[in-house]
Amino acid sequence: ALLDLSGVHQVKGTWMGSTTLPCTYTPSEGFTQHTLIWSMERDYRTSTIFRRDDSGDHVLLSQFRDRVSVPKHSLGNASLLIENLEIPDSGHYTCQVIWRSKNNSLITKEVTTTVKVVKGKSSHRALLLGSQSNPQSMTSLTCVASGSPPISYRWFRGTPGGKALLLSSQAELAWDSLRPSDSGRYYCEAANR
């Protein structure tokens, strides 16, 4: 084939992350890219998301405004970048490129990619902050976790898997004034849906 589009069958994206839907071709002499259209099919309805023609780049669906882009000056690369992925972005995306030949005939090729947006697994990072310098001042332990919101926190006194006492359901565990009896092991649990 003189002009052929290449892409991938399936792309997995993480909610609130970004993903690129590949759509590339080898530029061929005598053919110029005339129109590029990215459309999406979901629930048996097809909508045009992005169109590039002589008049410029146009994002036609408001839900994708400021979230989709196609490389500008990269000949042969018509890949679609989607940022801040939402769960409803899952669907079938078609990249359609129309070339014009020297004798003004048009050639159209398309490639379809299925996108699946998944909620990311929570990655846990605990950060413990405490001040031992002045027993009279307020002291706190703060738990920090990154992942898909909402994130719930629980503070325990004891050891994970052993005997433990639930102290708080907040990210921060605070004491107005520390006493010697407060010394010991504490741990935090962070979880999301």
Picking from 118, 153, 173, the residue at the C-terminal end of a domain is: 118
Based on the fold, state whether residues 88 and 147 are members of the same structural domain. no
Q: Which tens digit of pLDDT belongs to each residue from 39-71?
A: 999 888 999 999 999 999 999 999 999 999 999
Task: Identify the domain containing residue 135 by its residue range.
Answer: 123-192
Based on the fold, state whether residues 100 and 140 are members of the same structural domain. no
More confident residue, 79 or 122: 79
pLDDT beyond 50 at 126: no
Picking from 82, 98, 118, the residue at the C-terminal end of a domain is: 118
Picking from 85, 118, 151, the residue at the C-terminal end of a domain is: 118
- Report the C-alpha gap between 137 and 63 in whole angstroms: 50
Tell me, what's the pLDDT at 134? Answer: 53
Element (H, E) at 111: strand 106-118
This prediction has a pTM of: 0.62
**pLDDT over 90, % of the chain:** 54
Tell me, what's the pLDDT at 124? Answer: 43
What's the domain count of the chain? 2
pLDDT beyond 70 at 125: no
Based on the fold, state whether residues 28 and 100 are members of the same structural domain. yes
Question: What average pLDDT does the segment 104-115 reach?
Answer: 95
Q: Which CATH number characterizes residue 165's domain?
A: 2.60.40.10
Which tokens belong to 98? 């129309």
| Rounded (to 5) percent helix, strand, coil in the chain | 5, 50, 45
Based on the fold, state whether residues 45 and 136 are members of the same structural domain. no
Classified as helix, coil or strand, 166 is strand
Based on the fold, state whether residues 87 and 9 are members of the same structural domain. yes
Based on the fold, state whether residues 141 and 83 are members of the same structural domain. no
**pLDDT over 70, % of the chain:** 90
Tell me, what's the pLDDT at 140? Answer: 79
Spatial contact of 16 and 85, defined as CB atoms under 8 Å apart = yes
